[in-house]
Amino acid sequence: MVRPKPVIAARASQPPGLSLADFLCHYCCTVSEPSGNCGICILAGGLSRRMGRDKAGLRLGSRTFLAHIQAEAQKLGLPLRTIRRDLIPACGPLSGIYTALRTTRADAELFLACDMPFVSVELLETLLASWRKNQRSLFTLCKGKAGFPFLLPARAWPIVERQISIRQFSLQELAAVLKARLIRPPRAQQSGLLNVNAPADLQTARECWARRIHDRKRSGCCRVKKPAKDIKIGPSW
């Protein structure tokens, strides 16, 4: 169920001399009474052109990428959704972002990408802690660029819609328009930012996974378990 949002009334109150982009940023991204009510969305509706197949279904060990990400996100105890079908398709990640924000019941959404199987609950907790101190748009900073994971207030959907209408599909552009904060994770959490876009990246991810399993076995922290079934959590749009 889509919550109504008073954008038309707010648009009528736009002060003279203030650009539409700045007005939307102020109106849509300012939380007057922070509540910390946040959901989680995994974006899995991309075309995967460089990989040539659905990245969410790629495997590390006995689980798919999507199942690895779901397992970590579930530890936060927040509402979790997987976005597979977009309200406005073929607009890059903004398609899934727009769909999530238009259909959420939360005050904000934490966005995860289905091609980042090493994302950790510790990294997500770092972002949530920062968000709760100052509830503004927040992006992870990796290699000098804004990227996943990131948090957006639900009221930011008109800005995302505007970016789509002018065919600006870049996360960098979205972060700039939102005047988002950029957070560089602690070094120990940066391995969770590895994303898998192409076959060469998949090979790198599988090598990293093999090293992790080897290290855990050597340290005595890893016991052989039966293959886990993929986790199915929350509605899929």
Asked whether residue 235 is domain-assigned, the answer is no
Q: Residue range 22-26: average pLDDT? A: 50
Share of the chain above pLDDT 70, in %: 78
pLDDT, greater one: 29 or 159: 159
What phi and psi, each to the nearest 5 degrees, are found at residue 196? -115, 105
**Cα distances (angstroms) measured from residue 47 to each of 59, 64, 93, 115, 148:** 18, 17, 10, 12, 17
Asked whether residue 155 is domain-assigned, the answer is yes
Asked whether residue 234 is domain-assigned, the answer is no
Instruction: Report the alpha-carbon distance of residue 3 to residue 73 in Å, rounded.
Output: 24
DSSP symbol at 91: B
Averaged pLDDT score across all residues of the chain: 84
Element (H, E) at 43: strand 38-43
- CA nearest to 25, candidates 167, 156, 194: 156
The reported pLDDT for the residue numbered 53 is: 87
**Cα distances (angstroms) measured from residue 72 to each of 28, 112, 189, 233:** 30, 11, 13, 12
pLDDT at residue 186 above 50?
yes
Residue type, 90: A
pLDDT band at 228 (very low <50, low <70, confident <90, very high): very low
- pTM for the full model? 0.80
Structural domain span for residue 121 = 19-219
* Domain containing residue 145: CATH number: 3.90.550.10
pLDDT tens digits for range 125-136? 999 999 998 889
Q: Residue range 207-216: average pLDDT? A: 91
Instruction: Report the alpha-carbon distance of residue 226 to residue 17 in Å, rounded.
Output: 64
Asked whether residue 124 is domain-assigned, the answer is yes
The reported pLDDT for the residue numbered 198 is: 93
Asked whether residue 237 is domain-assigned, the answer is no
Asked whether residue 28 is domain-assigned, the answer is yes
- CA nearest to 75, candidates 233, 237, 236, 235: 233
- CA nearest to 174, candidates 190, 193, 157: 157
Structural domain count of the chain: 1
pLDDT band at 218 (very low <50, low <70, confident <90, very high): confident
User: Rounded to 5 degrees, what angle do the CA atoms 93, 21, 99 make?
Assistant: 30
CB 40 within 8 A of CB 109: yes
Share of the chain above pLDDT 90, in %: 68
Picking from 15-24, 136-145, 181-190, 212-221, which range would have the lowest pLDDT averaged per residue?
A: 15-24
Asked whether residue 227 is domain-assigned, the answer is no
Asked whether residue 54 is domain-assigned, the answer is yes
